[in-house]
């Protein structure tokens, strides 16, 4: 039966905490000390949860039921009331539960587990720096296209690319608000063509053998720290993304089996990845192991217990005279391997794409698992390392390629 004020007032503390149930998951928990807390029991994503709704008598029975009904409305729209409250607190707008910042942080928390950490950090920093200060406290349903455009224009004056990415993120937030019943439509559709045109730029890379050779020689001649030397030398052999490389941990390596098992949480695809290790890779790692092998990270940074910073390799390339804007970046080794393995060494494209950790599917549309074509990829990775060594060590002919 539903609770009444009389029943609540007559309830006495007991040796152990107990509950007085109301309706629709609401109950009053009475502690041995006499304290009385309103709580809501609910299920979300198949898990049973509890939400505190206040202390009796500060929160009356009628008020507790109103709060329960508000939480149930969120549940009906696919929103976890606990996560909603957390987002409201983080945004500091308790009175405006449907503000742009609250909704954006909810959307972010839902998406974050599917993103690489680097990517997730960039998105939340972009919103916190460029959008929340102007639109964060505004009810999302009240924001109009000209208001959002004004915010984006501020970003555009500094970086056109960032403005476009902010517009994309705002569109994702608005669509989430529509899906959860807190906005009527995605207003970013009205801003199509309003910003200066921009096209995504590919990471600069060197793909011609006659230009790869001097790059490799320069990298092997780099005079920086030994850890950075090893990272530079290993990068073109494994052609992982820079974050996947610099955060490498010794626990991920099985040198005897000649493989590197990169965990899913560090991969952009959020899938575990295997890198077969060539003889050259093993030599680099075994030379570095006495220096950093007792620690967590293969490429130990300046600060104890921390890896190299995310710009270390690009900074080293710049010191060697290579423009990381027009010529090569740590990310560019991937394009180098993709092009040469296909066009020069004539390896199967699906092997190459799989080793790049791209989404590869078979003829039936099924995603290959991480061990697909592993034997073939082992041979390919050894051939790639041998080719890089040939370029680096062979004398040049008139065309600049190995003779």
Q: With contact defined as beta carbons under 8 Å apart, do 271 and 264 qualify? A: yes
Whole-angstrom distance, CA of residue 398 vs CA of residue 66: 83
DSSP 331: T
Beta strands in 264-380 (DSSP E): 273-276
For residue 55, give Cα distances in angstroms to 8, 30, 36, 135: 13, 10, 6, 33
Whole-angstrom distance, CA of residue 170 vs CA of residue 181: 16
Active site residues: 241, 268, 331, 334, 358, 368
Whole-angstrom distance, CA of residue 222 vs CA of residue 230: 10
Whole-angstrom distance, CA of residue 323 vs CA of residue 325: 5
Tokens (6 digits) for 401: 């390629």
- 313 CB neighbour count, 10 Å cutoff: 24
268 Cβ partners below 8 Å, 6+ apart? Answer: 116, 119, 241, 244, 357
Label residues 8-36 b or e (16+ Cβ within 10 Å = b): beeeeeeeeeeeeebeebbbbbbeeeeeb
Q: With contact defined as beta carbons under 8 Å apart, do 340 and 213 qualify? A: no
């Amino acid at each position: 039966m539903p609770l009444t004020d009389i029943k609540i007032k007559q309830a006495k503390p007991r040796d152990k905490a107990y509950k007085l149930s109301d309706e629709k998951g609401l109950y009053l928990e009475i502690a041995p000390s006499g304290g009385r807390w309103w709580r809501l029991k609910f299920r979300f994503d198949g898990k049973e949860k509890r939400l505190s709704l206040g202390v009796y008598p500060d929160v009356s029975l009628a008020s507790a039921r109103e709060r329960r009904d508000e939480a149930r409305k969120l549940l009906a729209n696919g929103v976890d009331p606990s996560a909603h409250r957390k987002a409201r607190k983080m945004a500091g707008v308790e009175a405006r539960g449907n503000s742009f910042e609250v909704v954006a942080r909810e959307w972010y928390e839902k998406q974050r587990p599917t993103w690489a950490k680097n990517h997730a950090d960039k998105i939340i920093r972009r919103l916190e720096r460029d959008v929340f200060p102007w639109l964060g406290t505004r009810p999302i349903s009240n924001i109009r296209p000209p208001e959002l455009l004004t915010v984006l224009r501020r970003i555009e004056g500094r970086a056109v690319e960032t403005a476009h990415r902010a517009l994309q993120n705002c569109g994702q937030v608005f669509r989430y608000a529509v899906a959860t019943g807190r906005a009527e439509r995605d207003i970013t559709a009205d801003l199509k063509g309003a910003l200066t045109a921009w096209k995504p730029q590919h990471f600069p890379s060197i793909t011609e053998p006659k230009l790869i050779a001097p790059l490799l020689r320069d990298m092997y001649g780099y005079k920086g720290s030994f850890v950075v030397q090893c990272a530079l030398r290993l990068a073109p052999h494994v052609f992982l993304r820079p974050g996947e490389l610099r955060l490498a941990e010794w626990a991920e390596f099985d040198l005897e089996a000649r493989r590197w098992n990169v965990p899913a949480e560090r991969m952009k695809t959020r899938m575990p990845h295997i890198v077969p290790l060539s003889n050259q890779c093993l030599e680099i790692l075994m030379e570095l192991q006495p220096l950093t092998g007792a620690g967590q990270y293969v490429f130990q940074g300046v600060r104890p217990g921390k890896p190299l910073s995310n710009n270390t390799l690009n900074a080293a390339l710049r010191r060697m005279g290579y423009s990381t804007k027009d010529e090569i970046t740590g990310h560019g080794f991937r394009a180098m391997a993709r092009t040469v393995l296909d066009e020069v060494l004539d390896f199967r494209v699906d092997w190459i794409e799989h080793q790049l950790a791209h989404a590869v599917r078979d003829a039936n549309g099924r995603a290959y698992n991480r061990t697909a074509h592993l034997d073939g990829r082992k041979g390919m990775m050894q051939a790639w390392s041998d080719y890089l060594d040939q370029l680096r060590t062979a004398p040049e002919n008139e065309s600049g390629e190995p003779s």
